[in-house]
Structure 1
């Protein structure tokens, strides 16, 4: 029996790293526990600088061959990876639900199909990537996207495989090699992705997966002189550490750092729609970077909005995420649960009122919470909680709504509910956010740029923006009639 294999919901998962096309163990391990019941899922290889160096070396060695691979062949392999994801969709869904506590029905119907789509989209986009040639005083200009080199991709625990492949797919499509470090609280589907990629024919060393703690392996990866790009999704404090680590080598960074996004509800909005949008913010137990956690509601409809919201939110079912009837699962880790409750209890002590919730439940579950009577400069309004905790404030007019919406350090997203298209145009033009949704939420197209303003991040990815980041964009200028025939 292979001591490095663990079985999760009937699926065998290798707990070792994947480096240079083979499994590599570490001298140490760390436990991975399920948020559903706290059970240990496996002892995961705990990487250090040794594994970081080996993975980057493998990526560097594989880079020339992969970079020289034709666009058509790269695209073919990415589609083969997508085929492998679809073939193992049920296995990926149940493993990830067990590992991070998100709803199984969501993984089956949305998240894992999106993983396959990430590979297909960037494979297809690669084949159409171009910038038309243009002339400058008779000289021709030709823009090309050259692969940059080994990329380090560090991904979060709230949507592990989807957010990992959001980075892996464009990096590979661009002709780069990858070292992927998944979050230590949800590493299992990244290991399965390595198996799927190998089965699809991805050459050894092109994708490497290493596991461990940021302070032990992450710093070694982000400070490595042979790394040409770093993409990170996570917290602001960790991003600062990564940026400092990368600074010595001037390694380009793409950072998506969460937010404190507003939902603006005007009196002319369809209130049923607004309430539906509001309740949706409890998705994934509130562990969504884009979540509109601050409700800003026009005074004249605030009471009715709150009444309808409480009625709808109270009908949500919280429990085992493997149950089709469950709407809200557990939070990822006891430390995260403690952090969430700390935010809530400090807010209540400062005078906030819990309209619903306001307390943890048995296990790693936190009651869906809505807090009112909160000050704009309070911690609960200004800091990201990353749990099922929302706040409600009122505004008198459009000017105040925009001021409150923009009055945080973040700027990832914003959601607007209004029946007036002219108002929507005026307000969205003034909101500080990378994405604004009007009378909808979480409609995301990979053609669109994604990223945040202020402390919500650096850079944009999606469509051509992804290739702009993962490549060295080059312009070649050729003189007219400048050729000399030496024959």
Structure 2
């Protein structure tokens, strides 16, 4: 196996990063590009031995890193952000090649957000405090103590952004990290290891191990020295991780799937509502937050559909490296097969295809809108994770809310209305971790993020991230009892 491969002119190390060193494995797996199906290279495929080594390195580095003053930890996180910003173009082209998302989005939004993740949590760390309070004359002081080695398992749809959303607060909190990227998009995690090392992060504080969940993931999540596990991905995988972690009572943060509604009321700005709906095809529909269930009030449904078809029809699907492309490929042939399976079963059950409903050459799936779908049908109730939307109508506010909440998920919801009182009334009833009113995908790192029901466990963001990645301590001190040192 070659130690390094060249991807779009960028050198990427294919080995793990453990204890400040590159570590090879006997076995490998092939990483392919969804753009054209070409093999990018053979990647080190870790197992229990690599998991053990990574946890041991993180455990060894933990005492020193936990004792590092906040200001120094913050400085190093800012140095990592500097390194990211210097390599935005390289990171963008490698990630586009690896996972098929739009290059223009990586350049202008995603990679700058990666740097911001580090800067935000570095700065938040320096302001993290709870005002002291008294209990019958005794003082109470709340502190956030580093928890220990953290296993962070990240998805393939936004690899580096979602990885650093976890890595940055975990490191800021004084923990050491074992990052396990998705096997379908591992490359930018390897580049992050290089950037962190160049920034001066001590050996063992950040470790990156690659491989399959059943081989290395289980060994990491069941390890007794791991003190936190954060996972973004599917519900079935989360259940396996939770079962694995249960023996050690390792705390979990789980950000899982969604089947989010996009509610359009008759009083909404219809042009805005259509724009919001078409935006749900972003990243070829591979967005957990996407409002894939369009719920439109009866009286405007026909006009909404007409405008939607026209707007969606103007989307350009093709090579994600082309600035003019709006929708790129889906990540993997298996994912494409899954998407098409959902659509074809829905059609067989009586769903009507308004647009799309078929594959295109390569790993592309046509943007699809299905109507005449039953509320209890698979395509309405289960996450497709592709460019597939359903459209249902409702007669009044009560029915709209009922349909919106009628799934096992509760990650997000989007609401289009021109009535602020209705917005307040409806959002209060929606089961979701995030609700957007007349907007979509506006996320501030100081806000809590997570899902309800099967969409997840816990919240991260701002102080909530530190609450998860730390052991909170309350110190109660009596007003008397100290010797007089005067």
The verdict on how the C-alpha distance between 1:486 and 1:444 changes in structure 2, with shifts beyond 3 A counting, is closer
In 2, the alpha carbon distance for the partners of 1:446 and 1:12 equals: 31
Does 2:443 match 1:433?
no
Cα distance in 2 for residues equivalent to 1:41 and 1:209: 19
Shift of 1:481: 2.2
Q: Residue 79 of structure 2 corresponds to which residue in structure 1? A: 80
CA displacement 1:66-120 (0-9 Å, x = unmatched):
0000000000000000000000000000000000000000000000000000000
Shift of the alpha carbon at 1:373?
A: 0.1
**SS of corresponding position for 1:425:** helix
Match of 2:242 in 1: 243
Quote how far apart the aligned CAs of 1:258 are: 1.7
Shift of 1:281: 0.2
Q: 1:72 and 1:279 mapped to 2: Cα distance?
A: 44
C-alpha deviation, 1:142, in angstroms: 0.1
Superimposed CA distance per residue, residues 420-440 of structure 1 (whole angstroms, 9 cap, x where no aligned partner): 000000000000000000000
Q: Distance in 2 between matches of 1:273 and 1:470?
A: 39
| Structure 1 unaligned regions, length at least 5 | 1-6
Counterpart Cα distance in 1 of 2:158 and 2:436: 21
Q: Secondary structure at the match of 2:354?
A: strand
* Gap regions ≥5 residues in structure 2: 1-5
Moved segments of 4+, more than 6 Å? none
Distance 1:485 1:423 in 2: 63
* 1:142 has 2:145 as partner: no
The alpha carbon displacement at 1:464 in A equals 0.0
CA offset digits 1:404-430 (Å, max 9, x no partner):
000000000000000000000000000
**C-alpha distance in 2, partners of 1:153/1:130?**
25
Q: Give per-residue Cα distances to partners, 1:148-174, cap 9 Å, x unaligned.
A: 000000000000000000000000000
Q: Quote the residue 2:473 is aligned against.
A: 474
Provide the rounded CA distance (Å) in 2 between the counterparts of 1:482 and 1:313.
Answer: 72
Cα deviations across residues 295-345 of structure 1 (Å, max 9, x unaligned)? 000000000000000000000000000000000000000000000000000
Distance 1:104 1:58 in 2: 35
Q: How many residues align?
A: 481
State how far apart, in whole Å, the 2-side matches of 1:239 and 1:414 are.
22
In structure 2, the partner of 1:161 is 160
> RMSD value over aligned CA atoms?
0.6
What TM-score does the superposition give when structure 1 sets the normalisation length?
A: 0.98
* Structure 1: distance between partners of 2:481 and 2:265: 63
Q: Which residue of 1 aligns with 2:443?
A: 444
SS of the counterpart of 1:202?
coil
**1:416 counterpart SS class:** strand
Distance 1:200 1:308, change over 3 A: same
Q: What is the Cα deviation at residue 484 of structure 1?
A: 2.6
* Equivalent in the alignment of 1:202: 201
- 2: distance between equivalents of 1:482 and 1:441? 56
Structure 1 position 52, deviation (Å): 0.1
CA distance in structure 2 between the partners assigned to 1:299 and 1:486 by the alignment: 78
What is the distance in 1 between the residues matched to 2:484 and 2:214?
Answer: 59
Match of 1:484, SS state, is: coil
Deviations 1:207-249 (A, max 9, x none): 0000000000000000000000000000000000000000000
Give the match for residue 15 of structure 2: 16
In structure 1, what is the Cα distance between the partners aligned to 2:483 and 2:170? Answer: 39
Structure 1 position 483, deviation (Å): 1.4
Question: What secondary structure does 2:386 align onto?
Answer: coil
For 1:48-447, list aligned pairs within 5 A. 48-447=47-446
Report Cα offsets for 1:26-59 as digits up to 9, x if no partner: 0000000000000000100000000000000000
Partner SS, residue 332 of structure 1:
coil
Shift of 1:10: 0.1
Q: Secondary structure at the match of 1:203?
A: coil
* 1:432-473 deviation digits (Å, cap 9, x = unpaired): 000000000000000000000000000000000000000000
Distance 2:444 2:20 in 1: 32
Q: Distance in 1 between matches of 2:279 and 2:187?
A: 27
Partner Cα separation in structure 2 for residue 347 and residue 337 of structure 1:
16
SS of residue matched to 2:384: coil
What secondary structure is seen at the aligned counterpart in 1 of 2:129?
A: coil
| Aligned mates of 2:251, 2:446 — CA distance in 1 | 22
Query: What is the Cα deviation at residue 482 of structure 1?
Result: 2.4
Q: TM-score, normalised by structure 2?
A: 0.99
How far apart, CA to CA, are the structure 1 residues paired with 2:438 and 2:112? Answer: 25
Alpha-carbon distance between aligned partners in 2 of 1:268 and 1:404, rounded to the nearest angstrom: 19
Paired with 1:432 and 1:215, the residues of 2 have a C-alpha distance of 32
CA distance in 2: counterparts of 1:348 and 1:139, whole angstroms? 68
Q: Could you say which residue in structure 2 is the equivalent of 1:3?
A: none
Distance (whole Å) between structure 2 residues aligned to residue 251 and residue 44 of structure 1: 29
CA–CA distance in 2 between the matches of 1:224 and 1:178? 13
CA apart distance, 1:486: 7.7
Cα distance in 1 for residues equivalent to 2:234 and 2:247: 21
Following TM superposition, by how much is the alpha carbon of 1:130 offset from its aligned partner in structure 2, in angstroms?
A: 0.2
